[in-house]
């Protein structure tokens, strides 16, 4: 099997399923680019901002359905489906792999894909024909510990598994509102959001892990862009799976609703090949 990069996707709002914008257009190109450069992944290990727990849990159902884990959105969003195969055999493989790094993970035969998983995957692999294994993770652990969790998963890349973190590079929902309701998809980006995104991309390009791990203190508007950081932490899991010695590559940059950063990253030596496939 070809070794895959790991990736981080900003899924932003559940409305991306109805309003794809620039990020959705990128995701539509991502699946074909992965297939062209590396072949179809054996499975996807998904680490999402919306599947969290106190200890690692692998959701090893035979099949998954899209979970409408949100409220107050158009009815069409609740009617969408993404029925993907599960990966119960892979769950045992991942449990053993984590155990080798001292991480005790639980396996349950339950399923369901939160919107941080199914909304991007409906663009990346719209036929829902790639098995998905969600890994519920611990949002109370700091970035360095999330990176270590990703390092424990790194060997999956050599086994044809796409390690995918899903969240948002900026995520403060209070900044998305106007006096008349939700800001439009193409609202101008707030300066604080742009400053944070550019700082993060610059520090990633320099492999300044110390600054990235301490982003809340060092990044401009860090706490404003992430009042809670569960939407950014999957970036560190995916980065850890790619390795500390290679430079994270920003594969896409955009924003939505004025303050949701929609950047995507690739990790590992193979990320450059993916970038080239996206540009082809």
- Indicate the domain borders of the chain: 6-279
Q: What is the pLDDT of residues 80-113, one digit of tens each?
A: 999 999 999 999 999 999 999 999 999 999 999 9
Residue 139's pLDDT is 96
Average the pLDDT over 193-210 and give the result. 98
Q: Which helix (H) or strand (E) holds 256?
A: strand 255-256
Can you tell me the mean pLDDT for 219-241? 97
Which pLDDT value is given to residue 183? 79
Between strands 264-267 and 6-10, the pairing is antiparallel
pTM for this prediction? 0.96
| Count helices and strands in the chain by DSSP H and E runs | 11, 14
Whole-number percent of the chain with pLDDT over 90: 92
pLDDT, position 72: 86
Query: Which residues 6+ apart lie within 8 Å of 131 measured at CB?
Result: 42, 43, 44, 84, 85, 86, 87, 90
Structure letter (DSSP) for residue 74? -
Q: What is the pLDDT of residue 3?
A: 97
Give domain 6-279's CATH superfamily: LigB-like (3.40.830.10)
- Assign 180 a pLDDT band (cuts: 50, 70, 90): very low
Percent of the chain with pLDDT over 70: 98
Task: Note the pLDDT of residue 176.
Answer: 79
Question: In the predicted model, is pLDDT for residue 178 greater than 60?
Answer: no
Q: Which helix (H) or strand (E) holds 57?
A: strand 57-59
Over residues 35-57, the pLDDT tens digits come to 999 999 999 999 999 999 999 99
Question: What per-residue confidence (pLDDT) applies to 175?
Answer: 85
- What is residue 179's predicted lDDT score, i.e. its pLDDT? 44
Which pLDDT does position 182 carry in this prediction?
A: 72
Residue 239 pLDDT class (50, 70, 90 cuts):
very high
Q: With 0-12 CB in 10 A as exposed, 13-18 as middle and 19+ as buried, what is 146?
A: buried
The CA distance from 56 to 37, in Å, is 31
Flag the least confident range among 54-58, 67-71, 112-116, 117-121.
Answer: 67-71
**What's the average model confidence in pLDDT over 4-29?**
96
The pLDDT tens digits for 129-161 are: 999 999 999 999 999 999 999 999 999 999 999
177 confidence band (pLDDT: 50, 70, 90): low
Tokens found for residue 200 = 């993060």
pLDDT surpassing 80 at residue 14: yes
């Amino acid at each position: 099997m070809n070794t895959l990069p790991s990736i981080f996707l900003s899924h932003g709002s559940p409305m991306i399923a109805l309003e794809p914008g620039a990020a959705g257009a990128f995701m539509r190109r991502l699946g074909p680019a992965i297939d062209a450069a590396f072949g179809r992944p054996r499975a996807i290990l998904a680490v999402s901002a919306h599947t969290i727990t106190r200890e690692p849990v692998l959701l090893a159902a035979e099949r998954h359905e899209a979970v409408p884990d949100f409220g107050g959105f158009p009815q069409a969003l609740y009617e969408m489906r993404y029925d993907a195969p599960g990966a119960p055999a892979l769950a045992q493989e991942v449990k053993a792999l984590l155990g080798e790094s001292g991480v005790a993970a639980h396996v349950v035969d339950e399923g369901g894909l939160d919107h941080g998983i199914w909304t991007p995957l409906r663009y990346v692999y719209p036929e829902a024909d790639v098995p998905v294994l969600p890994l519920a993770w611990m949002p109370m652990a700091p970035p360095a510990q999330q990176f270590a969790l990703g390092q424990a998963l790194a060997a999956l890349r050599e086994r044809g598994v796409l390690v995918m973190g899903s969240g948002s590079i900026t995520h403060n929902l209070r900044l998305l509102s106007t006096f008349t309701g939700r800001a439009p998809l193409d609202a101008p980006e707030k300066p604080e959001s742009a400053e944070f995104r550019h700082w993060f991309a610059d520090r990633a390009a320099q492999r300044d892990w110390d600054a990235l791990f301490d982003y809340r203190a060092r990044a401009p508007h860090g706490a404003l862009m992430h009042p809670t950081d569960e939407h950014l932490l999957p970036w560190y899991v995916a980065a850890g799976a790619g390795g500390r010695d290679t430079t994270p590559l920003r594969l896409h940059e955009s924003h939505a609703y004025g303050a949701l950063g929609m950047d995507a990253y690739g990790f590992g030596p193979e990320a450059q090949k993916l970038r080239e496939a996206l540009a082809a």
